[in-house]
């Protein structure tokens, strides 16, 4: 029986219609902004990307990052009063990759399996961790509100490990999940590996997308020893390009993601010598649209979220538009106001997002909700 009542399903589709209207309004607004001459030019950037991001380049090629953001440990003990259990499992010891698995406590008393959300954290490919408190709390609350098993993946960071290292780690994590299903009780008894979504926020959204393309290029992965993917959930995905967009110009000095920090993170994450029209950064140029067709042929559904307070919103809208043109079943959820990463800092916004994610998952034909 569905965990969603009929009113909830109606709510999702009503909000979807509202968001679709906002989506087209944002397109119109962004197009207008690209031609306005009243927007002041952005402040000049530091030409040294390491200095721009307050990184110290060491002689051995590693970097020293600034003060480390707070981190939270997992809570695997079922005797503790917590709504969601969590534990860390090693994926590849030599690479330092691992997964933090989140399991809603209420699931322990149920026989049915839950959707599996494979989540990749943000941080511009350079910063933060699956253990960072902001992402730990996000995944904890998402597992509880969406009612899903969440596997938050720790991947290698740039510039020590430039792209495509993170994409390789993402695909390896999918193989690991399938291989370890029988060895880990949480994955074995509670995760539905036929109902899997690749999900990420900011740079994590970029990773989910590019990992999805790699799986799609191999035929969808059903015979590749990885779980069966039903779709992608891209939360304010981190994309850019060599052409400055209206939203990037309008929000060039936005404190949560300035254009200078944006460009510096790409400088240190892309393969050496690549510009921002590289396929990892700009999925709508070159062969990008043809690759998007692979997602459509597999029947995956895609949720793309954003807001017009995010400098990247024009890129996100363009990606959703191209996906729609290429036959992908895409849902665009774009809201007014807010800022890049708002769901990581505002619990109320995160809760609103979880309602959209749960509604998106519940509408899929394969859903067991």
Site of tokens 């509100």: 145
Q: What's the pLDDT at 179?
A: 92
Flag whether 40 is in a domain.
no
Neighbour-count burial of 367, counting CB atoms closer than 10 A to its CB (0-12 exposed, 13-18 middle, 19+ buried): middle
Rg of the chain on CA atoms, in Å = 20
The dihedrals phi and psi of 34, each to the nearest 5 degrees, come to -65, -20
Q: What's the pLDDT at 270?
A: 98
pLDDT in tens, 107-156: 988 888 999 999 999 999 999 999 999 999 999 999 999 999 999 999 99
Flag whether 312 is in a domain.
yes
pLDDT in tens, 35-68: 344 556 677 899 999 999 999 999 999 999 988 8
* Ranges under pLDDT 50 in the chain: 1-37
332/25 Cα distance (integer angstroms)? 12
Q: What's the pLDDT at 38?
A: 55
Copy the structure tokens of residue 107: 């699931």
> Which helix (H) or strand (E) is 210 found in, with range?
helix 203-217
15/338 Cα distance (integer angstroms)? 18
166/173 Cα distance (integer angstroms)? 10
Name the domain count of the chain.
1
Flag whether 368 is in a domain.
no
Q: Residue 294 is part of which domain span?
A: 6-35+51-362
The CATH code of the domain that includes 349 is 3.40.50.1820
Q: What's the pLDDT at 264?
A: 98
The single residue of 278, 315, 333, 340 carrying the catalytic annotation is: 340
CA angle (258 as vertex; 254, 261 as ends), nearest 5 = 160
The single residue of 30, 202, 240, 247 carrying the catalytic annotation is: 202
57/264 Cα distance (integer angstroms)? 14
Is position 202 annotated as part of the catalytic site?
Answer: yes
Is position 340 annotated as part of the catalytic site?
Answer: yes
Flag whether 43 is in a domain.
no
The single residue of 310, 314, 338, 344 carrying the catalytic annotation is: 310
Flag whether 233 is in a domain.
yes
Flag whether 27 is in a domain.
yes
Site of tokens 């590996």: 193
Flag whether 1 is in a domain.
no
Flag whether 120 is in a domain.
yes
Copy the structure tokens of residue 339: 């800022």
Is position 256 annotated as part of the catalytic site?
Answer: no
- Collapse the DSSP code of 137 into the 3-class scheme (helix H, G, I; strand E, B; otherwise coil) and give the result: helix
């Amino acid at each position: 029986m569905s965990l969603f009542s009929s009113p909830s399903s109606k709510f999702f589709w009503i909000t979807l219609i509202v968001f679709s209207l906002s989506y087209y309004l944002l397109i119109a607004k962004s197009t207008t902004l690209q031609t306005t001459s009243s927007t002041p030019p952005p402040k000049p950037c530091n030409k040294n990307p390491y200095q721009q991001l307050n990184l110290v380049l060491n002689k051995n090629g590693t970097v020293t990052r600034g003060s480390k953001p707070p981190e939270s440990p997992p809570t695997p003990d079922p005797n503790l009063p917590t709504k969601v259990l969590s534990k860390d499992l090693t994926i590849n010891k030599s690479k330092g990759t691992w997964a933090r698995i989140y399991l809603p406590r209420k699931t322990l008393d149920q026989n049915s399996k839950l959707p599996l959300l494979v989540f990749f954290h943000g941080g511009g490919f350079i910063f933060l961790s699956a253990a960072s408190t902001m992402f730990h709390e996000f995944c904890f609350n998402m597992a509880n509100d969406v009612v899903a098993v969440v596997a938050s993946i720790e991947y290698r960071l740039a510039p020590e490990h430039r792209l495509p290292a993170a994409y390789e780690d993402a695909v390896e994590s999918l193989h690991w999940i399938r291989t370890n299903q029988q060895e880990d009780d949480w994955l074995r008894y509670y995760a539905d590996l036929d109902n899997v979504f690749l999900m990420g926020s900011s740079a994590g959204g970029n990773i989910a997308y590019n990992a999805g393309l790699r799986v799609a290029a191999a035929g969808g992965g059903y015979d590749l020893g990885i779980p069966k993917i039903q779709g992608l959930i891209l939360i304010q995905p981190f994309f850019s390009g060599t052409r400055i967009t209206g939203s990037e110009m309008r929000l060039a000095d936005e404190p949560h993601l300035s254009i200078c920090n944006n460009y510096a993170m790409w400088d240190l994450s892309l393969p050496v010598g690549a510009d921002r029209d590289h396929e990892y950064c700009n999925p709508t140029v070159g062969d990008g649209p043809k690759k998007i067709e692979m997602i459509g042929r597999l029947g995956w559904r895609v949720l793309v979220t954003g807001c017009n307070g995010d400098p990247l919103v024009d890129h996100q809208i363009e990606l959703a538009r191209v996906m729609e043109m290429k036959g992908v079943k895409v849902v665009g959820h774009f809201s007014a106001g807010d800022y890049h990463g708002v769901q990581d800092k505002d619990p109320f916004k995160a809760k609103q997002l979880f309602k959209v994610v749960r509604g998106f998952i519940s509408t899929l034909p394969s859903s067991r909700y």
